[in-house]
Amino acid sequence: MAIDYHALKAWPFQDIEHTYTERDTVLYALSVGFGNDPLDRNALNYTYGPTLSAAPTMAAVLGFPGQWMKNPASGIDWVKVVHGEQHIRLHQALPSAGTVVGRSRIKAIVDKGRGKGAQVLIQRDIFEKQSSSLLASVEQLNFCRGDGGFTESGQPGDAALPAAPNVPQTLPEFVCDIKTRPESALLYRLNGDPNPLHADPEVASAAGFDRPILHGLATYGIAGHAILRTMCSYDSQRLKMLHVRFSAPVMPGETIRTEIWTRPEDATRVLFRARSVERDIIVLNNGIAELA
């Protein structure tokens, strides 16, 4: 079964109501490295009161519509789907606890060609339930490796998505190392992603890994933590947007080094990438952050 462009564009997503507590907010922060330094008062604000802050990247786990691509009616070969890019824009600081509503839609479907796959871009707006105010807009780009060529039957396809900027070919101006824990994937999955790839050695082996790997969104959250620490002095209201491309998995226990470059032509944005220090490979690339 092939992708049906019109059916996907009109996919009947249900609004997802998501209630979370301060305990959930602390759990998310711990799972992306907050609290590694128990003497850092500013970082402690994300894991301990009396005025608890929510990490901006927690928006990635709020109001999530679930594994809808597994529905055969989507026409997507979900076994071959990989998470390609992630984008969050914060319209206001996330509350440390509350009830939100996630409202999703398919924003773009791009045909890369037969044998080259397709891109499906999902946008999710997150609203505070009581006030209906928009808190964050989340975009997830999935690379559907088995679904290229759907326009050959005469269906439309959306225009190619703009490419994220490359980082400079110079030494980074700032570097931030955050060590992950051996059990970090088991901790992060408590945020709502129970995929056994991140917990079961047999499932990981079947997927070609010698051990369970860390969630891509955990790596994304750690990079966001690094930007928050290095460029925002842990002020959650200063991080307005974070975009990355996933390039390689992280193994729990590795150190993630976020390398950061400022942009002289635009003081509100920085470019970044992240690497596994132990294996010296890039795990996130084409990163861009917008700062207040």
Coil vs helix vs strand at 136: strand
266 is catalytic: no
Write out pLDDT tens, residues 218-243: 999 999 999 999 999 999 999 999 99
Write out pLDDT tens, residues 64-108: 998 899 899 999 988 889 999 999 999 999 999 999 999 999 999
Among 126, 178, 213, 256, the active-site one is: 213
pLDDT of res. 2: 83
Among 198, 215, 225, 243, the active-site one is: 198
* Ordered structural domains, the chain, with CATH: 5-153 (3.10.129.10), 174-291 (3.10.129.10)
The whole-chain average pLDDT of the chain stands at 95
266-270 contact pairs (CB < 8 A, 24+): 268/292, 270/227, 270/231
Contact 244, 223 (CB under 8 A): yes
37 is catalytic: no
Among 33, 98, 216, 221, the active-site one is: 216
- Burial of 138-168, coded b for 16+ CB within 10 Å and e otherwise, reads bbbbbbbbebbbbbeeeeebbeeeeebeebe
Among 178, 193, 221, 256, the active-site one is: 193
193 is catalytic: yes
Q: What is the pTM of this model?
A: 0.95
Distance of alpha carbon 250 from alpha carbon 228, whole angstroms: 20
pLDDT for 1 beyond 80: no
| DSSP string for 56-115 | GGGGGGSS---SGGGSGGG---GGGEEEEEEEEEESSPPPSSEEEEEEEEEEEEEE--TT
Write out pLDDT tens, residues 143-154: 999 999 999 989
